Structure 1
Amino acid sequence: MRGLDDTDREILQLLLEDARRPYSEIADSVGLSAPAVSDRVDRLRDIGLIRRFTLDIDRSLLDEGVPVLVTLETVPGAGKRVRDGLADVESVEYVFRTVDDRVVVTATAPDGAVGELVADAVDVTDVRDYEVSLLTEADWSPQVSGARLAPACAECGNTVTAEGETVTLDGDTYHFCCENCREQFVDAYEQLSEGA
């Protein structure tokens, strides 16, 4: 598995600024040909670093409710369930789960009904308390300048280095630190698939 170089990072940053930017324009900026940029983007998609190209909507131009930031304190062990439930709600834009199982979301609550939004999405016994703040502004500015590629091994959890391997099974990409981990994972995956 090849890591990220400065050209990869520059391509990622240009795509973060505008995912519709033509490869020819990116090529001019990074000193490559358009086909070479296309190959790099394909590689970044194949390893799962680029998951999708998406649209960033300015919700302040829409009248669909009240923009809020909600912090939920969950009962021990319920953070993932609460996070998953809220991630499926159409009016929720971002969902974060902290190491102490707090869940933070940005959402647009219809008529300001945050309690109903939460109650419709999760089992309220999983939530100890929640705090709501009204949002006036939100900016999204992801950066990749000093980042290095460091996925976790799907089998053992170790960091995958340049010697690692990548496998795509049923459309999902998995990274492995070594051949042994890849073989163990693929064998177990195939056994589970056959039994299903």
Structure 2
Amino acid sequence: MIDEIDQKIIEALADNARLSIKELAQQVGLSSPSASERLRRLEERGVVARFTVDLDLRAIGYPLQAIVRIRPLPGKLHIVQRLIEDIPQITECDKVTGDDCFVARLHMRSIEQLDEILDRIADKAETSTAIIKTQPVKRRLPPL
């Protein structure tokens, strides 16, 4: 479990992972050594797994996003999973229950690139694609 101070640390870092220990300590009402120790313990427990950067992928040439539901053909599950893992434009993928086995998020430079990617798995899986228009809810933490 996490306590109220851990929750404040997590929320502050989720908002800005580049906070200095001094800034973090000020935001959560601790001394710098105490904040540093709390953060170290959160990392050791695996609560904080990494610090990352949030890129605007449009700004670096990836204006299109799609969600692709993937249903491997019989006997092709492991082959399709390896293909998914090897396609760098697939930035996230979940193995799910239900009719589909995978739900993948792709970032692409063009619709033509989407076709090329889907063609790589077309003989091994059925796909259903939705182009993302907007993202009303960005990735966020669930209630802590």
TM-score, L = length of structure 1: 0.60
From 129, 132, 135, give the equivalent of 2:129. Answer: 132
Decide which moves more: 80-89 or 27-36.
80-89
Q: 1:32/1:76 Cα in 2 relative to 1: closer, same or farther (>3 Å)?
A: farther
In 2: Cα distance, 1:43 partner to 1:76 partner: 45
Give the C-alpha shift of residue 134 in structure 1.
1.4
The AA in structure 2 aligned to 1:103 is F
Could you list the runs of 5+ residues in structure 2 that have no partner in the other structure?
none
In 2: Cα distance, 1:108 partner to 1:88 partner: 14
Q: 1:37/1:95 Cα in 2 relative to 1: closer, same or farther (>3 Å)?
A: same
Query: Root-mean-square deviation (CA), in Å?
Result: 2.7
What residue number does 2:103 align with?
Answer: 104
Give the C-alpha shift of residue 119 in structure 1.
4.9
| Residue 49 of structure 1 pairs with residue 47 of structure 2 | yes
Which aligned runs of 4 or more in structure 1 are off by greater than 6 angstroms?
Answer: none
The AA in structure 2 aligned to 1:23 is I
Q: Identity over the aligned pairs, expressed in percent? A: 22
TM-score, L = length of structure 2: 0.77
1:43-97 deviations in Å (ceiling 9; x for gaps): 1211222221111111122324632221112347866764554244322222222
What residue number does 2:117 align with?
Answer: 117
What residue number does 1:159 align with?
Answer: none
In 2: Cα distance, 1:76 partner to 1:132 partner: 20
In 1: Cα distance, 2:95 partner to 2:78 partner: 7
* Count of matched residue positions in the alignment of Structure 1 and Structure 2: 141
